[in-house]
Structure 1
Amino acid sequence: MNENTLFNSNITKEEFLKTFWNKRPYLFKNAFQNTEDLASAEDLLDLALDESCETRMVYKDQNSKRRLVHGPFSEEELHEYLKKSFALIGHNLNTLSPEFYEFQKAVDFIPGWEFDDVMSVYSNDDMSLGAHIDNYNVFIFQGLGKRRWEIQESPNTEWREDEELKVLKEFDPDYEWILNPGDMIYVPPGVAHHGTSLSESISYSIGFKSLETSDVLGSFFTELDDVGFFSNNSFNSKTSSDVPEEAFKFFREQAQNFINDEKVFNKWLLKKLSAPKYPIEPSGDPIPESFEGMSIEKDVQLKYAFAPTGEIAVNRKLYKLTDKQRNLLLQILDANPFGPITISAEQESELKDVLKALWCEGAIFESAL
C-alpha cells in the first residue's frame, strides 16, 4: 500500500472516487484504530439530556413497530426508553469534540462543502432502524460491538405504511457484511442498507449531502425572485386567468439567461455551498483595532468554497482575493477549530477587511485558551 491508499485498504483515492463514489458500496476492514474509546454509552446518553444537542430516539413498541421521538429527554423518559429495544441517534458530533472532528478531516478528499455531519447510533442487541435509503453519501464505521449490514444496490422504493420511519416494504439484500470495531462501509445515495446490532453497539456515520438539481435550481430562482430579477411586464390576456404564449416565452428566456450567466450563477453557487448547517450567530463583541498577534478560534461549523477565478465564499459572503490573500486566509480556515490560531502580521496586513467581516459575523472570535 502507498500513502495514497484509503483507510488501510488497497484502493487509492482516485480508484475509489472513479469506481465507487456515488455508484457502489465498499467495505473497509480495520479502517480506524481504537474506536471503542471514542465515546461511551454514558457519553451519548448525556447528549440526549442536553438541550443544545440534536438527538432522536427510535424504539419498538409493544407491537414491535418502530416509533420515533425527538430529544432532549428527561432522565425519567430516557430510563423508560432504555428498557425497550432502542436506538439513540446523535447528530453533529464533529462540532462537539476534536476527536470527532478528526473523522471529518479523515475524509477531506471529498469536498468540504458537501460535508453534513458526524452522527452516532447507540443501540442494544438485535435493534435496527429498518431497511432504508439515504439521499446522501455516507461512511459508516463501527465504534463498539458488532453490527450486521445487509445491502441491496437496486431496491424497489415502496415504503411500509405501518412504520413512522421510512422503511422499505420489500428488501432483498445482495450481500451482507459484519462490522467489528474499526471496520467501515461506504454507502452511496439510493442504495438500500439495513443495519442490525449483534450486541450492544455504537456506530458512527460521516455524511455528505447530495446536491439535487431540483433543490439547486429551485433555490437559485427563489433568490433571483427575492432581489427582483424577474420583470413585472404586463401581458395581453383574453381572460383574467389566461396565460398567453408571450408570457411563457418571456419567463422561459429569463430563466435561460440567468442560468447561462456564469458570473451570476457561479457567485450564487459559491454562496450556497458555503452556507453552514445552522446559522452562525454574531457575538456582538467590538471589532479589535488590530488582529496581529491575537489568538482566535473559528466557529466549528464554518464552511467555505472557492472558485478557480480567485473568488471565495465564507459563511455565504463572497470575497475577491489574490492568490496570496487566499492562501493566507486558508491558513486560518483550514486550521483545527478546537485550538487557537495566532494571526500573523502578514495576515493582518493582507486580510484586515476580511477578518473584520468574519469577526462581525461570529465566524471568528477571540480564543479563551
Structure 2
Amino acid sequence: MDYHLSLNWPDFIERYWQKRPVVLKRGFTDFVDPISPDELAGLAMEDEVDSRLVSHHEGKWQVSHGPFQSYDHLSENNWSLLVQAVNHWHEPTAALMRPFRALPDWRIDDLMISFSVPGGGVGPHLDQYDVFIIQGTGRRRWRVGDKVPMKQHCPHPDLLQVDPFEAIIDEEMEPGDILYIPPGFPHEGYSLENSLNYSVGFRAPSGKELISGFADYVLQRELGTHRYTDPDVPAREHPADIVPQELDKLREMMLEMIGQPEHFNQWFGEFISQTRHELDVSPPEPPYQADEIYDALQQGDKLVRLGGLRVLRINGDVFVNGEKIDSPHRPALEALASHIELNAEHFGDALEDPSFLAMISALVNSGYWFFED
C-alpha cells in the first residue's frame, strides 16, 4: 500500500524539526493499518525479533523481553506490547517509512510498533532522538512537556522514566494523526482503547559512538602507526610537566586521522549503513545466475529492496549494510541508492557489463534485494 503524508516539509523543518513538538491531525488521511495485532504478537514470538511487554499495576511497573510463548496471562488493561524494527520483518509496514524520505535516509532508523490495551503505556519518559508517532487503530491520549531539565528515575531498570511534567500538548489522537517529538521533550501516552501506534525513529549517533566506531576502523586497517616525535623537544621548568606545545602536537596527530576525507568517508559510510537490528535476510535457493537476473529484468521483473536495508551514498560511493559497492557505473549506483524498487531502465547500459551484473547478482543472492512476486 502507498501512504501519502499531507505535510509541507520545508515549512515543517523550519518551524518544528528539532525545535518543538506538534500534532499533525490527519497526517495520513484514510489511514489503514499495515499489520494486525495478531501479526504483531506473532512477530514477538520469533527469536530474532526485539520485543518487550510493559505493564503496570498500582504504581509498579514490569518489563519482560521476548520472544514470548503465550499471552494468556495478560489482563484486559494496563499493558503494551512493543516490537522494534518491524519494517525489517513485515514488508507491508516498510511502506510507512517511505513518506519520511523527505528527511535524509541516513538519519532514519526503524519502525517500532506497539499494541496497547486500555491504560497501556510506558510512562513519562525522554528520548534522545526524533520520533514521529502515527496513530493506527484505536485512540490514545498523548501528553508532551516542554524541554526543561528533567530528573530521571527507574521504577524498572528498563524504563528510564522522568518525573511528572506540565503538558504543552495534551491531545487525544485518532487513526492517521501524527505526533512529532524532538529529542529531549518529556512525553507519555496511554491507550483509551485497544490501539496500534507506529513510531518512526531517527538515528542520532553520540560522540562516544562516533569515536568508538572510528577507533575500530583504524585498528582493523592498522592505520595510525606513525609515532610521536620531538626532535626539538621543548624546555620546561619541571620534568613532570607536559607542556602545551606537546599537547597540541598530540591532538594534531589524532585530528589528522579524522581529517583525511578518504578514510573518514569510508569509515562513516560503513558505520552508518549498518543496521542496529537484524534483517530478515533469506538468500534465494538455489542462487541466481547472472544471466537469470539479466533475463528477469529485461522481461520487466522488478527488484525490491529488503525492508530495513540501509543503502547510503557519500560523494557518489554507495554503501550497503556496512560495505562499499565498487562499480564505475555511477548512474546505476545512484539508482540503487535512490529507489526502493528497481527495473531494467534504472540500470541502463550497466546491465551489459558482466562485472556490474555479477555485483547485482551477489546483492540478490545475499538476500538484500528480491524479485517482486
TM-score range, shorter chain: 0.7 to 0.9
The answer to whether the 8 A contact 2:318-2:337 is kept is no
Paired with 2:34 and 2:287, the residues of 1 have a C-alpha distance of: 38
Q: CA deviation at 1:360?
A: 6.0
Partner of 1:317: 323
Q: 1:254 and 1:109, CA in 2 relative to 1: closer, same or farther beyond 3 A?
A: same
Paired with 2:64 and 2:161, the residues of 1 have a C-alpha distance of: 16
Farther off after superposition, 269-278 or 202-211? 269-278
The answer to whether the 8 A contact 1:7-1:28 is kept is no
SS in 2 for 1:121: strand
The answer to whether the 8 A contact 1:136-1:210 is kept is yes
Paired with 2:6 and 2:167, the residues of 1 have a C-alpha distance of: 27
Partner of 2:161: 167
Q: 1:320 and 1:48, CA in 2 relative to 1: closer, same or farther beyond 3 A?
A: closer
Does the alignment pair 1:67 with 2:62?
A: yes
Q: CA deviation at 1:243?
A: 9.9
Partner of 1:302: 309
What is the TM-score of this pair, normalised by structure 1? 0.82
Gaps of 5+ in 2: 231-239
Partner of 1:209: 203
Paired with 1:40 and 1:364, the residues of 2 have a C-alpha distance of: 25
Paired with 2:51 and 2:203, the residues of 1 have a C-alpha distance of: 19
Farther off after superposition, 259-268 or 347-356? 347-356
Q: 1:334 and 1:233, CA in 2 relative to 1: closer, same or farther beyond 3 A?
A: closer
The answer to whether the 8 A contact 2:318-2:333 is kept is no
Letter in 1 for 2:188: H
Q: CA deviation at 1:166?
A: 0.7
Farther off after superposition, 130-139 or 343-352? 343-352
Q: Give the count of matched residue pairs.
A: 348
Paired with 1:20 and 1:244, the residues of 2 have a C-alpha distance of: 47
Paired with 2:185 and 2:339, the residues of 1 have a C-alpha distance of: 34
Q: 1:328 and 1:230, CA in 2 relative to 1: closer, same or farther beyond 3 A?
A: closer
Could you report, residue by residue, the CA deviation over 1:127-171 in whole angstroms, capped at 9, with x for unpaired residues?
Answer: 221111111111001101111111112133311243331110242
Partner of 1:27: 23
Paired with 1:170 and 1:220, the residues of 2 have a C-alpha distance of: 39
Please, which of 231, 237, 244 is the counterpart of residue 225 of structure 2?
Answer: 231
Q: CA deviation at 1:188?
A: 0.9
Farther off after superposition, 194-203 or 103-112? 194-203
Q: CA deviation at 1:368?
A: 7.8
SS in 2 for 1:214: helix
The answer to whether the 8 A contact 1:85-1:127 is kept is yes
What is the TM-score of this pair, normalised by structure 2? 0.81
The answer to whether the 8 A contact 2:121-2:188 is kept is yes
The answer to whether the 8 A contact 1:137-1:189 is kept is yes
Q: 1:69 and 1:212, CA in 2 relative to 1: closer, same or farther beyond 3 A?
A: same
Superposition map of 1:149-188 within 5 A: 149-164=142-157, 165-188=159-182
Q: CA deviation at 1:334?
A: 4.3
Paired with 2:60 and 2:99, the residues of 1 have a C-alpha distance of: 37
Q: 1:159 and 1:217, CA in 2 relative to 1: closer, same or farther beyond 3 A?
A: same
SS in 1 for 2:167: coil
Gaps of 5+ in 1: 1-5, 237-241
The answer to whether the 8 A contact 2:52-2:63 is kept is yes
Letter in 2 for 1:354: M
Could you report, residue by residue, the CA deviation over 1:203-236 in whole angstroms, capped at 9, with x for unpaired residues?
Answer: 1111111132332233112321332223374899
Partner of 1:127: 120
Partner of 1:288: 289
Farther off after superposition, 89-98 or 138-147? 89-98
Q: CA deviation at 1:87?
A: 0.6
SS in 2 for 1:73: coil
Q: 1:34 and 1:79, CA in 2 relative to 1: closer, same or farther beyond 3 A?
A: farther
Paired with 2:99 and 2:125, the residues of 1 have a C-alpha distance of: 26
The answer to whether the 8 A contact 1:259-1:265 is kept is yes
Paired with 1:278 and 1:115, the residues of 2 have a C-alpha distance of: 13
Q: 1:353 and 1:247, CA in 2 relative to 1: closer, same or farther beyond 3 A?
A: farther
The answer to whether the 8 A contact 1:8-1:29 is kept is no
Superposition map of 1:314-353 within 5 A: 314-319=320-325, 325-336=329-340, 346-350=349-353, 351-353=356-358
